[in-house]
Structure 1
Amino acid sequence: MEDIQQRVTAIGLTPKQTNGMQYRHVGRSGLIASAIGVGCFAFGGYVDQATTCAVVDQALDLGINYFDTANSYGIGKSEEALGTALQGGKRQQALIATKFGNRTGDGPNDIGASRMATIRACEDSLRRLQTDYIDLYQLHWPDHATPIEETLRALDDLVTAGKVRYIGASNMFAWELCEAHFTAEKYGLGKFISAQDHYSLLYRDIEKRFEPFCVKYGIGMTHYFPLAAGMLTGVHQRGAIVAGSRQDRNPNTAAWQSDRNWDVTEKLQAFAQQRGWTLAQMALAWLLSRPATFTVIAGADKPQHLVDNVKALEIRFTQQDLVEIDRITLVDEDRSVAPPYRTLRPEKVHEFEAMQLARAGAPSRAAH
């Protein structure tokens, strides 16, 4: 209380120190999120309740307010664990982003984005999270069996009812996000302010068509698997996943272990070490340099992971750094345009954006 009284002025409170945390608007909305977020997939399962509480407390102490979960993570267990960890007056400090649309039960309406499924899923999430509103409610996957207008009207009603503050999307193709955007505009419904998709230094296809749409129409981007399921942590080595780690226990880990991914990862590791950065911090910082990104949501199994992740905010890339990162990571030919256009219409080629700009003598958008 004394700290607050000392910061009171005639026009409100003076800003509180944020331990170096950065905050960004989510797209063109007024919602503000911490540049580093917490991926809560492992809460209530791989990460027990005591550790979940410790991670959440550490996040809040660092100025992190963005917590990303979903009703399908542990079939509700992640939401329950997060809701418990935010009790005791902590809820107001947090921005809860949860999702709906994946199957969570055996009934015909326990999946998808119909009006019934959407409203039921929201009410169930509110109960598990022990809160009366969700800050950012995201469609987890597009539901091709339900018209997007129906989904948007249900979400608009949830916003009107005060159960949801903002809405977002996840795993949409660019055309699907475009359809949703202009359907909302046509009928005067709330628009998606964010899009969450798979994006990392190992998988950059999203830059070809999806990212430009988000930049143009002011949709904030956040990304899952920013560290490529552990590949970009710098902890594991080719053929030697650390015993006892989450990756060691995950049956999907092998799917990431291609020779191409290891070749790129090892070069990125050397690049980061030459500059005194960890690979994980560089990978997160690079995503934050992208023009539409508002936060990155790496999972945290222990409080120290968040302390390490926040150090990514200290990294500053030069134009030459970005060009070299392009050279290392964009090793697959862009097949989104016909070969003649690579020479005749270079602006149509989306790979090596920073390198193209450097050759033209123009500043990179990603450098700011």
Structure 2
Amino acid sequence: MTVPTPTAAQLDLQARARELSEVFKERATEVDRTEDYPMQNAKELAAAGFMGMTIPQEYGGPGLSLYDVVLVIEEIAKGCGVSGRIVVDGNLGALSIIMRAGSEELKKHVADLVLGGDKPVIQITEPAGGTDVNAMTTTAEVRGDTVVLNGTKTWITGAKDSVVNVVVAKLVEDGEDKGLCAVYCERDDEGFDLGKRNYMMGLRGIPEMDVHFNDLVVPRSNVLMFGLKDIMGRYNNQRVGAATVALGLAQAAYEDALHYTTQRQQFGHPISDFQGLRWKLVDMRLALDASRLLIHRAAASASLSESGLPDPELAALAKLHAAENAITVSSTALQLHGALGYSRNIRVERLYRDARMFTLGGGTTEALRNLIGSQILKPFTSGVS
């Protein structure tokens, strides 16, 4: 599969995102310090047309592709990783579930909220179950024309500041477990109770919350999707988005390191003249280009599929490579700054902390390796019990 070449319209989209990213860059340190959700950034993303880019035109959106979205995410994340994550959630993941399976009324309602700046939330992880999704205990019990949610979720990104929520739960009907489903609810619904906040090492501006569901009642029509395969299939575009935030953070760290090493003088020369340090810059560039190509390939695969979703293996490869190399690149950038890199006086220290999350959230690197490995070995194991 070839990697697409951006069109003139896509280059313009990217340039507009780059311009807004420079504004967010000036605010990012304060977002990290206060650990407050950057609501103003979300409003400006919406005003620029960067929220709800994937919403179809019949619901008021532009109906753009995953490839369009990743071009924007990388630029925004370079300035502010938190804002990059807002763009991911404002276009992918939970939103794609709603736009695929929601009623016409719900689609229009959610489209208005997201185009206005709301960041949808997908709730999967539980205190006793992360990667093992089938072990979750949150239930959606059918009672007549309604469904009642009960249970606890954890590490829910932005639950405190977002209206739109999609909750993955076990559907129970007549006392029988019918498997996993995705249920739409809203933050202000009765029975939607916020629990403790989990304070994080990086990406501090999006509160990670516990959420408790205590007999939260929604119409049965709010059950949007059934089965782990379909639900997690919709999560693959979010995985590509997360990979792109990691890439944007790493690109910012590389650019800072490149600037610093060409300006910093030691022994009468810029330190970029020294071969050992120059090779580090080359390795960083190599890692970034490889991540970008993998991400763009995964994004392009979505346009070729009937579902409109990226190939799961390509999405996993992109996320795995971008996440691990974001840590490597940002760590190298910090090293190239010497003691200055370890201080909070410059942003490389924050970029390193922010990048560290992506080997954990959205599928651990271990889980992704298992997924990729199963795909690699499938031709050799079919029919083997």
Bigger helix fraction: 2
TM-score, normalised relative to structure 2: 0.28
**How does the TM-score come out when normalised to structure 1?**
0.29
